[in-house]
Structure 1
Amino acid sequence: MTPTSLELSTLGHRIRHQRVSHGLTLDELGERVGVAGSQLSLIENGKREPKLSLLQAIAAETGVQVTDLLSTEPPNRRAALEIELERAQHGSVFRQLGIAPVKVTKSMTDETIESLLGLHRELQRREREAIATPEEARRANTELRLKMRDVDNYLGDIEKLAEKQLKSAGHVSGALTHRTVSIMAEQLGFELIYVSDLPHSARSVTDLENGRIYLPPASIPGGHGLRSMALQAMAHRLLGHQRPTDYADFLQQRLEINYFAAACLMPETASVAFLAQAKKDRNLAVEDFRDAFGTTHESAGMRLTNLATRHLDIPLHFLRVDGSGAITRVYENDGLPLPMDVTGAVDGQIACRKWSARSAFDEQNRTTEHYQYTDTPAGTFWCSTQTGTTAEGEFSITVGVPFDDAKWFRGRETQKRATSTCPDESCCRRPSTDLAERWTGKAWPSARVHMQMFSPLPRGVFPGVDDNEVYEFLDRHM
Structure 2
Amino acid sequence: MIEDAHEVDDDQESLDALTLGRNIRARRKESGLTLEQLAAKIDRAPSQLSAIENGRREPKLTMIRRIAQALGTSAASLLDIHEVGEREALEIAVERAQRGPVFQTLGIEPIRVSSATNDETLRAVLALHEEVTRLHRERAATPEEARRTNTELRKDMRVRNNYFAELEAHAKELLAVSGYTGGPVSQRTVADIAERLGYSLHYVNDLPHSTRSVVDKRNGRIYLGSHGNTRYSRTPIVRALASIVCGHEEPTGYDEFLRQRVEANYLAGAVLVPEEPAVAFLENARKQRQISMEDLRDAFAVSYEMAAHRFTNLATERLDIPVHFMKVHESGTLIKAYENDHVRFPSDVLGAFEGATVCRRWTARTVFGQADRFNPWYQYTDMPDGRTYWCTSRIEGAKEGDFSVSVGVPFDEVKWFRGRDTPHRTRSWCPEESCCRSAPDDLGEKWGHNAWPEAATPTSLLAALPTGTFPGVDSLRVFEFLERHEKPGRS
TM-score if structure 1 supplies the norm length? 0.76
In the alignment, residue 305 of structure 1 is paired with which amino acid? Answer: T
CA shift at 1:221, angstroms? 5.2
Matched, 1:412 2:420: yes
CA shift at 1:245, angstroms? 1.7
2:380 counterpart SS class: strand
In the alignment, residue 432 of structure 2 is paired with which amino acid? Answer: D
Matched, 1:294 2:301: yes
In the alignment, residue 254 of structure 1 is paired with which amino acid? Answer: R
In the alignment, residue 390 of structure 2 is paired with which amino acid? Answer: W
Query: For the residues of structure 1 that align with 2:292 and 2:337, how far apart are their CA atoms?
Result: 19
Query: For the residues of structure 1 that align with 2:347 and 2:368, how far apart are their CA atoms?
Result: 22
Matched, 1:457 2:465: yes
CA shift at 1:102, angstroms? 8.7
Matched, 1:354 2:361: yes
Query: Are the equivalent residues in 2 in contact too, given 1:89–1:95 (CA < 8 A)?
Result: no
Query: Are the equivalent residues in 1 in contact too, given 2:94–2:125 (CA < 8 A)?
Result: no
Partner of 2:399: 391
Q: 1:94 to 1:205 in 2, by over 3 A?
A: farther
Q: 1:91 to 1:352 in 2, by over 3 A?
A: farther
Instruction: Pick one of 327, 346, 352 that aligns with 1:345.
Output: 352
CA shift at 1:154, angstroms? 0.6
Query: Are the equivalent residues in 2 in contact too, given 1:319–1:331 (CA < 8 A)?
Result: yes
Q: 1:182 to 1:92 in 2, by over 3 A?
A: farther
Q: 1:87 to 1:239 in 2, by over 3 A?
A: farther
Partner of 2:191: 182
Instruction: Pick one of 233, 240, 251 that aligns with 1:244.
Output: 251
In the alignment, residue 301 of structure 2 is paired with which amino acid? Answer: G
Partner of 2:217: 208
1:351 counterpart SS class: coil
1:229 counterpart SS class: helix
Query: Are the equivalent residues in 2 in contact too, given 1:93–1:124 (CA < 8 A)?
Result: no
Partner of 1:306: 313
Aligned CA RMSD, in angstroms, stands at 3.0
Matched, 1:132 2:130: no
Matched, 1:322 2:329: yes
2:314 counterpart SS class: helix
Partner of 2:200: 191
1:166 counterpart SS class: helix
Q: 1:278 to 1:104 in 2, by over 3 A?
A: farther
In the alignment, residue 237 of structure 2 is paired with which amino acid? Answer: A
The runs of 5 or more residues in structure 1 that have no matched partner are 1-46, 51-81
Instruction: Pick one of 376, 380, 387 that aligns with 2:388.
Output: 380
Query: For the residues of structure 1 that align with 2:434 and 2:358, how far apart are their CA atoms?
Result: 14
Query: For the residues of structure 2 that align with 1:388 and 1:364, how far apart are their CA atoms?
Result: 14
1:320 counterpart SS class: strand
Query: Are the equivalent residues in 2 in contact too, given 1:128–1:460 (CA < 8 A)?
Result: no
Query: Are the equivalent residues in 2 in contact too, given 1:89–1:101 (CA < 8 A)?
Result: no
Q: Which moved more, 1:175-184 or 1:293-302?
A: 175-184
The runs of 5 or more residues in structure 2 that have no matched partner are 1-81, 105-109, 487-491
Cα deviation code 1:83-126 (max 9, x no counterpart): 9x96996899888546979979999698x799768846853763
Alignment of 1:269-284 (within 5 A): 269-284=276-291
Percent sequence identity over aligned pairs: 46
Query: For the residues of structure 1 that align with 2:266 and 2:212, how far apart are their CA atoms?
Result: 17
Query: For the residues of structure 2 that align with 1:92 and 1:152, how far apart are their CA atoms?
Result: 44
In the alignment, residue 138 of structure 1 is paired with which amino acid? Answer: R
1:452 counterpart SS class: coil
1:410 counterpart SS class: coil
CA shift at 1:448, angstroms? 2.4
CA shift at 1:401, angstroms? 0.7
TM-score if structure 2 supplies the norm length? 0.74
Q: 1:275 to 1:48 in 2, by over 3 A?
A: same
Partner of 2:484: 476
Partner of 1:256: 263
Instruction: Pick one of 350, 358, 366 that aligns with 2:373.
Output: 366
Query: Are the equivalent residues in 2 in contact too, given 1:93–1:127 (CA < 8 A)?
Result: no
Query: Are the equivalent residues in 2 in contact too, given 1:302–1:318 (CA < 8 A)?
Result: yes
Query: Are the equivalent residues in 1 in contact too, given 2:94–2:126 (CA < 8 A)?
Result: no
2:379 counterpart SS class: strand
Q: Which moved more, 1:98-107 or 1:142-151?
A: 98-107
Query: Are the equivalent residues in 2 in contact too, given 1:130–1:459 (CA < 8 A)?
Result: yes
CA shift at 1:191, angstroms? 1.2
